[in-house]
């Protein structure tokens, strides 16, 4: 076992002495040493309760015959970091999370890992670490929060508090109503209650084979969530004894299964970034084109908030991800032969799962749409691709042509929207917000939510080289590549240029000739990096991060 490098032999007596100082026994050190990576903190609602999950995991590890050793991982709440300088950091923190887990794991020679996370960048950061380290590992989430209630109806952070900001700005609701909504939107701990990035990634972990069935949808307050954590703790010891490693599980077929599930449930557009990044660490060749290829043949059978009226708790009651996967396997869309952390195949994991509500999880021949929830667009505005959550786009906006309203930062665009300067038919361009240009590829949830709150979601599109929250709905096209800071065409746009969006045909173009674009490019001056803290991590990140079209991973060719 890996841990023998620090626990066995006469030369490791000093190492054992340090363990004895903490109360561990010789018997403890003879068992598999399991790193329990706990992303608990007091600043993220999805992580506030993870100490309880960690305690259940450690009980499971001990019951399975291992010795649990807990250590922390950082996390940032995207909602709290939104719409200010803090939003430069969440995506960049994904790499920090993976790097720190690598450092502690190798430094202490753990035999296996239980990764406990829940929210947006923490989940992929942990799975990236598992793929990179390739020692037995299992992921367990803290689970989704329950929806809030406001004036007799379900609500949540996005459909409640964020969209209410736009409604208040346009005079549709009062300040008292806005505050009442903010106090009602998030009633429990857990990841936010819709099919946003956190919950999407927690669901996709099941399809990837790295999490136990139920990981994506069992609500955070339920006892079943702790029971699942306990089973994860027991299972990791079994994985160590059988030497089953993440790269045996996270194969190309497993990533295709995850993408298929993503399309079927209408998941967050951020999953494109994260699956590409995890595949990179697993040494699996996955391309942006794979997403659109799968989207073209997989129907969208779940319409969850923000794209629909249902929430994660509804999906759980309808049978959960196991029921969705079983339906997809029966339809020949998912490869059920892939291996999972249960020690069984994906098909064996879900064979007894039944759909309990055919509106929440529709039959394959009665989908909400015949193609998947995400589309990849290309054209002279996005030669390397752009991503849109088409499941959340109003029918009227699937094709659109309008004048560009060009802004060089999220702040400029948000100020214009809140100031009533955006008109019906406009295409809001937010550039220099990509991985390098941001830096950190900020989410544009505040601008898109305000557009919806003002009732303009069927009239206005927003295009950016940044990205969007999983809670974003509407004609919001992100990940435009190459980004403006790299001299991409989005950086050459001028006010009033006519933008053509055709989501069914996967096209994103500007009505400007190639000659004109070339002339503009010849005059383009690479912008100075945005002001950051002296010697900031963001400077190093901006220097090394790659394009969104490749997952915004860090360069390793230096």
Residues assigned a catalytic role: 469
CA distance 176 to 315: 32
The C-alpha angle with vertex 481 and arms to 476 and 482, in degrees rounded to 5, equals: 145
**Count of H-run helices and E-run strands, the chain:** 22, 14
Q: Is 341 within 8 Å of 231 (Cβ atoms)?
A: no
| β-pair type (153-155, 148-150) | antiparallel
Q: Is 521 within 8 Å of 462 (Cβ atoms)?
A: no
Phi, psi of 125 (to 5 degrees): -60, -40
Write the CA distances from 447 to 45, 413, 439, 454, 464, integer angstroms.
23, 7, 18, 11, 11
What is the rounded (10 degree) CA torsion for 154, 157, 163, 169? Answer: 120
For the chain, the first-to-last Cα distance in angstroms comes to 33
Phi, psi of 461 (to 5 degrees): -110, 155
Strand partners, 386: 377
Of 230, 273, 209, the residue nearest 442 (C-alpha): 273
Burial bucket for residue 443 (CB in 10 Å: 0-12, 13-18, 19+): buried
CA distance 89 to 68: 31
Give me the DSSP letters along 355-400: -S-TTTS--TTS-SBSS-S-EEEEETTEEEEEEE-GGGS-GGGSEE
3-class secondary structure, 106? helix
Mapping DSSP onto H, E and C, the string for 12-81 reads HHHHHHHHHHCCCCHHHHCCCEEEEEECCCCCCCCCCCHHHHHHHHHHHHHHHCCEEEEEECCCCCHHHH
CA distance 478 to 169: 25
Of 391, 393, 374, 200, the residue nearest 289 (C-alpha): 374
């Amino acid at each position: 076992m890996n841990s023998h490098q620090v626990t066995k032999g006469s030369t490791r007596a000093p190492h054992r002495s340090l363990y004895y100082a903490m109360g561990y026994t010789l018997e403890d050190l003879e068992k598999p040493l399991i790193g329990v990576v706990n992303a608990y903190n007091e600043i993220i609602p999805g992580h506030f309760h993870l100490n309880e999950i960690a305690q259940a995991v450690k009980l499971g590890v001990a019951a399975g015959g291992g010795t649990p050793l807990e250590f922390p991982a950082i996390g940032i709440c995207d909602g709290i970091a939104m719409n200010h300088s803090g939003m430069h950091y969440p995506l960049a923190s994904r790499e920090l999370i993976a790097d720190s887990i690598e450092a502690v794991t190798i430094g202490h020679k753990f035999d296996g890992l239980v990764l406990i996370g829940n929210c947006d960048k923490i989940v992929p950061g942990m799975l990236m670490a598992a793929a990179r380290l390739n020692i037995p590992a299992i992921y367990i989430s803290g689970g989704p929060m329950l929806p809030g209630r406001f004036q007799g109806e379900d609500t949540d952070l996005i459909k409640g508090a964020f969209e209410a900001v736009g409604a208040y700005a346009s005079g549709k609701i009062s300040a008292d109503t806005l505050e009442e909504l903010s106090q009602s939107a998030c009633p429990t701990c857990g990841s936010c209650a819709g099919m946003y990035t956190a919950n999407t990634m927690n669901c996709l972990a099941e399809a990837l084979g790295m999490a136990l069935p139920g990981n994506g949808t069992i609500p955070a307050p339920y006892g079943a969530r702790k029971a699942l954590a306990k089973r994860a703790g027991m299972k990791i010891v079994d994985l160590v004894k059988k030497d089953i490693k993440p790269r045996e599980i996270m194969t190309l077929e497993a990533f295709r299964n995850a993408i298929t599930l993503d399309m079927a449930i209408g998941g967050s557009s951020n999953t494109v970034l994260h699956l590409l990044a995890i595949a990179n660490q697993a040494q699996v060749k996955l391309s942006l084109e794979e997403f659109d290829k799968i989207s073209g043949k997989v129907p969208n059978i779940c319409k969850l908030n923000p794209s629909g009226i249902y929430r994660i708790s509804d999906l759980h009651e309808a049978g959960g991800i196991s029921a969705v996967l079983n339906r997809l396997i029966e339809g020949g869309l998912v490869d059920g032969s892939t291996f999972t952390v249960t020690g069984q195949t994906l098909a064996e994991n879900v064979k007894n799962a039944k759909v309990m509500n055919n509106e929440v999880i529709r039959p394959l021949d009665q989908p909400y749409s015949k193609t998947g929830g995400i589309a990849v667009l290309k054209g002279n505005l996005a030669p390397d691709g752009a991503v849109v959550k088409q499941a959340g786009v109003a029918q009227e906006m699937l094709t659109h042509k309008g004048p560009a309203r060009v802004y060089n930062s999220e702040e400029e665009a948000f100020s214009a929207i809140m100031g009533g300067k955006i008109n019906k038919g406009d295409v809001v361009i937010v550039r220099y917000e990509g991985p390098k240009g941001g830096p950190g590829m900020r989410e544009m949830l505040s601008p898109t939510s305000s557009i919806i709150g003002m009732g303009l979601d069927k009239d206005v599109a927003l295009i950016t080289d940044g990205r969007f929250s999983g809670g974003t709905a509407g004609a919001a096209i992100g990940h435009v590549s190459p980004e403006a800071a790299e001299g991409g065409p989005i950086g050459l746009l001028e006010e009033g240029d006519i933008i053509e969006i055709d989501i069914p045909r996967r096209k994103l173009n500007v009505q400007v000739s190639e000659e004109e674009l070339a002339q503009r490019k010849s005059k383009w001056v690479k912008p100075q990096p945005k002001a950051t803290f002296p010697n900031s991590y963001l400077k190093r990140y901006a220097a090394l991060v790659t394009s969104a079209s490749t997952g915004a991973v860090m360069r390793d060719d230096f």
